[in-house]
Amino acid sequence: MPRAVYPGSFDPMTNGHLDIVAAAAELFDNVIVAVLNNPDKKSLFSVEERMELIRASVKAYTNVSVDSFSGLLADYTRLQTADVVVRGLRSVQDFEAEIPMAHMNRRLNAQLRTVFLPASLGVADISSSLVKQIAMHGGALTGLVPDDVARALKRKYHN
Ligand code: PNS
């Protein structure tokens, strides 16, 4: 099976993202988890911090690597000779937002297919933004993020 890129902001990595990584690692020979470096978007974690947290979370998967990219995903996938983009779907709203991106990415790179993977039932309610709100107010992060991410969130908000 082809090489796949799983792109995102990952600010920070959640158990929902990890669920998609696990599925993608089974389906594809190689999976690159690619963090978007977007200077226009205010993020809690730097790109390096996000990559480090992802590396710690995916170390069990020998066919998964972590990288970052700037600019267009269509160009980055070409550079990586990856023909598949993986995106997770939690809801109809996700689907509606993702479909135009999938079409546009294929317009920009005719080789590129987007494969949507449904979030597992136990993690379909998790998002990085909700996790950050919970962490900010000192709520329980159990089951929402990997342990390293929970510790990093506590350091950010409560140190
Ligand atoms: O985790 P996110 O924020 O939902 O990920 C969105 C992401 C990074 C996949 C998307 O914004 C993206 O691919 N950005 C790169 C710029 C780009 O290629 N834009 C055109 C998409 S049609």
**pLDDT value of position 1:** 64
Q: 158 CA to middle of ligand 1, Å?
A: 30
Neighbour count for residue 13 (Cβ, 10 Å): 30
| Digit-coded pLDDT (tens) for 71-112 | 999 999 999 999 999 999 999 999 999 999 999 999 999 999
Please give the number of the atom of ligand 1 that sits closest to the Cα of 72.
18
DSSP letter assigned to residue 122: G
pLDDT given at position 2: 87
Ligand 1 test: best mutation among 17, 35, 36, 78, most atoms within 8 Å of CB?
36
| Three-class DSSP category at 31 | strand
Question: Which is nearest to 148 in space by CA: 11, 46, 56?
Answer: 56
pLDDT in tens, the chain (159 residues): 689 999 999 999 999 999 999 999 999 999 999 999 999 999 999 999 999 999 999 999 999 999 999 999 999 999 999 999 999 999 999 999 999 999 999 999 999 999 999 999 999 999 999 999 999 999 999 999 999 999 999 999 988
What is the DSSP pairing of strand 30-36 with strand 113-118?
Answer: unpaired
Closest Cα to atom 6 of ligand 1 = 8
Q: Three-state SS for 110?
A: coil
Torsion of CA 77, 119, 44, 148, to 10 degrees: -100
Tokens of 61: 């998967």
pLDDT at 42: 94
Residue nearest to atom 13 of ligand 1 (CA): 73
The conformational region for residue 138 under phi > 0 = left, psi -120 to 50 = alpha, else beta, is left
Determine whether 41 is an active site residue: yes
Cα-to-centroid distance, 159 and ligand 1 (Å)? 31
Q: Which residue puts its alpha carbon closest to atom 4 of ligand 1?
A: 8
